[in-house]
Structure 1
């Protein structure tokens, strides 16, 4: 388990990610991370945009369900 101490960053609050945490998340300086609610009432820090994942799942479903229509439109 990794622990982080909240510190002042300008007029806001933040925490510093050690190299070990950045390596596990596969992120680099300047990347965006998302704090999402996890099942069971906790939170999860992730580099994956949950809205993008949801949109891609919907697109894959549409492409699967309407593949004949999409093939006809591609001609």
Structure 2
């Protein structure tokens, strides 16, 4: 478990991530994090959950309509 410390950054508040956690999550300065609500509270992820859902839907369509897409690509 990691503990994040909140600190003042100008007129905002920022969280300080330990170096080990940044390495484990493959995060670097300037990366974006996405916060979504979950049944347990909030969830913080590196990937955009809305985009991930759109990609899952697109993959399902591409798999189902593979022959049509091949014809269109000609």
Shift of 1:41: 2.6
Paired positions, count: 74
Gaps of 5+ in 1: none
Query: When you count strand as a share of all residues, which structure comes out higher?
Result: 2
CA RMSD of the aligned region, Å? 1.3
Question: Equivalences for 1:16-31 in 2 at 5 Å?
Answer: 16-31=16-31
- The alpha carbon displacement at 1:2 in A equals 0.6
Consecutive unaligned residues of structure 2, counting only runs of 5 or more, are none
TM-score, normalised to structure 1, is 0.86
Cα distance between partner residues in 2 of 1:27 and 1:8: 21
Structure 1 residue 27 displacement after superposition:
0.8
Quote the residue 1:60 is aligned against. Answer: 59
